[in-house]
Structure 1
Amino acid sequence: MLKVENLSVHYGMIQAINNVSFEVNEGEIVSLIGANGAGKSTTLRTISGLERASSGQITYLNEPIHTISAKKIVEKGIAHVPEGRHVFKGMSVQENLDLGAFLRKDKDGIQKDLKMVFERFPILEQRKNQDASTLSGGEQQMLAMGRALMTRPKLLLLDEPSMGLAPIFIREIFNIIQDIQRLGTTVLLIEQNANVALSISDRGYVLESGKVVLSGTGQELLASEEVQKAYLGG
């Protein structure tokens, strides 16, 4: 579904990603794990068109997408939930969700998906007229994910969905990610909580200093002595 080949990205003279290659198959949850500054967020931002590659190629459904606009990438079925959630302050929960469907014309489908989002995140329906910025951190994360689902994505990019959340919300968010996969959406996940991320992932890749240094199934990486020492406190 998604293939990243020899991807390099620079911020001025600084190389954030160095010849990164990986792929995501349809229906999978794939995790990118690594320390802060490893290049994980830059990788996601480049896939979604927010950053430009210095070299390399990104192919989605057999089409190159590394040279097209972020808007066109969304139209092709890729939704990105960035780190920090970024809900729209001064707009209600309902208005934030409506913006997720901005590019869609299928009114019946939009209403169906809105109902699905409210079923998955009941607190959002209860607070649909509330300013999004007044929600708790966990509720804002649910809203950001719900807004992305309103685009009806084939591929969902999630950047640190558990950051700053209480343990009860973390469990809930990861249960929802698995539900999203079961309903047919492919997920590419960045997560500092490597233990939880790998436990729900079909496969994973470890990034260090902008390079992929390890890959395997989620269970293989969980069992890896190297991963345990570096990321799992083993």
Structure 2
Amino acid sequence: MLQVQDISVHYGMIQAVHGVSFEVKQGEIVSLIGANGAGKTTILRTISGLVRPSSGHILFEGKNIEKEAPQKIVASGLSQVPEGRHVFSGLTVQENLEMGAFLRKDSGVKEDYEQIFKKFPILKERRSQDASTLSGGEQQMLAMGRALMSKPKLLLLDEPSMGLAPIFIKEIFSIIQEIQAQGTTVLLIEQNAKMALSIANRGYVLETGKIVLEGTGQELLSSEAVKKAYLGG
């Protein structure tokens, strides 16, 4: 579904990503793990069209997208939940969800609101509340619901557990598995390596802008190098 081919990314003179290649197959959860500054968020932003690669190619369902505008990438079926959630303050929960459906032209939007409220019952309770007044966990659910309202084929998640209480982290990861089970492919970037790899079909380990390890989620969980670097082993 997604092929990232030898992409490099620069911020001015600084190279943040060095010839990274990986793929995401339809129906998978794929996790990218790595320390802060490893290039994880830059890679997601490049896939989403928010950052342009210096070189390399990105193919989504066989079509090159590295030069496409972000809104065209969303319209093609690829949606991102950004790090830090970034809900629209001053808009209600319902209005935030409406923003997620902005590009849709089909007639199934109303039914999809109900699906989101079924998946995230707390959002239904708070549908008329200003999004900025939600807790961190509730904002994360809203950001995920907003992205799902665009009906993505591939959902990009950037650090969904960041800053959340353990009870919310467990719930968020359970919802990610539910999203996959309902047919959406997931590319997950996450510092909580144990949680990310435990639900991943496959994973890649990034260090200083390069992929240094890859394997199934279980293979990486069992790797002595991963245990030592990311799992406290």
- TM-score (norm. length: structure 2): 1.00
Shift of 1:106: 1.6
Q: Is residue 71 from structure 1 mapped to residue 82 from structure 2 by the alignment?
A: no
Structure 1 segments of 4+ aligned residues over 4 angstroms from their partners? none
* Counterpart check, 1:175 vs 2:174: yes
Which residues of 2 match residues 5-154 of structure 1 at below 5 A? 5-107=5-107, 109-154=108-153
Aligned length: 233
**Residue of structure 2 equivalent to 1:207:** 206
Alignment gaps of 5+ in structure 2 = none
Q: In 2, Cα distance between the equivalents of 1:16 and 1:150? A: 31
Q: Which residue type is aligned with residue 56 of structure 2?
A: G
1:24-59: CA deviation from partner (whole Å, max 9, x where unpaired): 000000000000000000000000000000000000
Structure 1 SS opposite 2:167? helix
Partners of 1:2 and 1:120 in 2: CA distance: 26
Over aligned residues, Cα RMSD in angstroms? Answer: 0.4
Structure 1 residues without counterparts, runs of 5 or longer: none
Q: Residue 130 of structure 1 aligns to which amino acid in structure 2?
A: Q
Matched residue SS, 1:152: coil
Distance of 2:53 and 2:209 partners within structure 1: 13
Shift of 1:219: 0.1
Letter paired with 1:90: G
Q: Deviation of residue 105 (structure 1)?
A: 1.5
Q: Name the SS of the counterpart of 1:90 in structure 2.
A: coil
Letter in 2 for 1:3: Q
TM-score, length-normalised on structure 1? 0.99
Whole-angstrom distance in 2 between the partners of 1:177 and 1:87: 19
2 CA distance for matches of 1:129 and 1:76? 30
Instruction: Name the SS for the 1:163 alignment partner.
Output: coil
Structure 2 counterpart SS, 1:45: helix
Partner of 1:96: helix, strand, or coil?
helix
Identify the residue that residue 163 of structure 2 maps to in structure 1. Answer: 164
Q: State the distance in 1 between where 2:16 and 2:124 align.
A: 40
Return the alpha-carbon distance in structure 2 between the equivalents of residues 217 and 112 of structure 1.
36
